Chain A
Amino acid sequence: MIKVIYRNKQWKVPGRRTVREVIEAVGLNPAMVLAVRNGKLVLDSEMLGDDGELKLIAVISGG
């Protein structure tokens, strides 16, 4: 399972699918988040394993 973190929310979702599919699985829009894995930006098309953490950054933010 992959741990997905977005703002103050967390989910555990099955892996072995793309970043885009994981983002959609937690009900978010891939056009509105950036995905970070191991401290680095990753593309929507990247295939994930079945463990680890995916941090999602909202692109709409303060200011």
Chain B
Amino acid sequence: MILKCRKCHEPAVVNMRQHKLPLCAAHFLEWIPEQTQRTIEKYRLFTRTDRVLVAVSGGKDSLSLWDILKQLGYQADGMTLQLGIDEGLQYSDQSHHFIEKFIGDFWPGSILHTVDVKSAYGESIPEVARRTDRGNARPCSVCGLIKRHEMNRLAHELGYDVLVTGHNLDDEASVLWSNVLNWQIDSLVRQAPILPADRPGLARKAKPLCRCYERDMAAYAVLRGIAYIYDECPFALHATSLQHKAALNDLENKHAGAKLQFYLGFLNARERGLFTLPEEDAPALRTCERCGQPTGTTAGLCTFCRLWDKKQAVVK
């Protein structure tokens, strides 16, 4: 049986089983930006007068997001971090190559801000991870910390109204799954399509692809002709988050729409106030005395600034 596009009755190339919606290539390439726009409006992520900074990594989600926002007419510039991950694959260099190629192929003249971690702070991500005790020789923990800090810093310092990331529904559902398995109440309270800039030094953050399946974002990149980094980060192999995604996809394969229902059910419960902490339980945050970003540390520097202080101590 040949499935037909719901809109034009040509043969479909994508069937979004969670929406019972088969579409041809042309209508699928229209549908994903429309869905993104609906998400932006529903959660009031940002408006067309806002200056938007897109965190791009060379992967399918972030490049597609940048492409979609440009198509939708948003003032979207890009930012990327040169992490210095090589491991025989030149992973970071390859990632950067795909970003440059995307700009050249689709949106020439776009603004891209690049932070080279080693040039800025003296060490690449793997080097910091080897020196510090965070992550037991795997740099994912250090990498996440540095990325969050630097993305926030750049968005704040350059005066962007919002920082957006390419987190898709599978990313959000797997984080939710992990938060529920471990009953990470503080993380459940914070998980949302929008994080307001409600403290000094904090940029507003949004996830416009949070209602799009990862599979559909891969299909978008393929059909649109966006070349992206296909290999996983060499340090991400065996990551727990990938195991959580696989578990959710086992469920999805048997029950189409399971991931969507899981995540949207959570957001609905959140809107009804089921995941709010009493004010006295809200985590106490202060301002880091060096970088000015909010921190949960009890005194002195934030965790990011302490990373580099430890380096100076070793050098001395």
Contact = CB atoms under 8 A, between A and B. Distances in A.
A63 B2 CA distance: 34
A33 to B, nearest CB: 8
A32 interface: yes
A43 B253 CA distance: 14
Contacts of A60: 170, 214, 232, 242, 245
B219 A63 contact: no
A62 B1 contact: no
Contacts of A36: 222
Interface string A27-53: 001111010100011111110000000
B246 to A, nearest CB: 7
B253 A31 contact: yes
Contact of B22 (A30, A40, A43, A58): A43
A58 to B, nearest CB: 8
A57 interface: yes
A62 B229 contact: yes
Nearest to B232: A62
Contacts of B229: 61-63
A41 B218 CA distance: 11
A43 B3 contact: yes
A63 B13 contact: no
Interface residues of A, number: 20
Contact of A61 (B3, B13, B22, B230): B230
Contacts of B250: 29
Contacts of A43: 3, 12-15, 22
B13 to A, nearest CB: 5
B245 A63 contact: no
B13 A42 contact: yes
Contacts of A42: 13
Interface string B15-41: 100000010010000000000000000
Contacts of B1: 45
Between B12, B91, B95, B215, the greatest number of chain A beta carbons within 10 A of the residue's beta carbon is seen for B215
Interface of B: 1-3, 12-15, 22, 25, 57-62, 91, 95, 166, 170, 214-215, 217-219, 222-223, 228-233, 236, 242, 245-246, 249-250, 252-253
Given A62-B230, A62-B236, 16 more contacts: A30-B253, A31-B249, A31-B252, A41-B25, A45-B1, A46-B2, A58-B230, A59-B217, A61-B218, A61-B229, A61-B230, A62-B228, A62-B231, A62-B233, A63-B58, A63-B166
**Closest CB pairs A-B (n = 9):** A63-B59, A62-B229, A63-B57, A59-B218, A31-B249, A59-B215, A31-B253, A41-B13, A31-B252
26 contacts: A31-B252, A32-B249, A34-B215, A34-B218, A41-B25, A41-B222, A43-B13, A43-B14, A43-B15, A43-B22, A45-B1, A59-B218, A60-B242, A61-B59, A61-B228, A61-B229, A61-B230, A61-B231, A62-B57, A62-B95, A62-B232, A63-B58, A63-B60, A63-B62, A63-B95, A63-B229
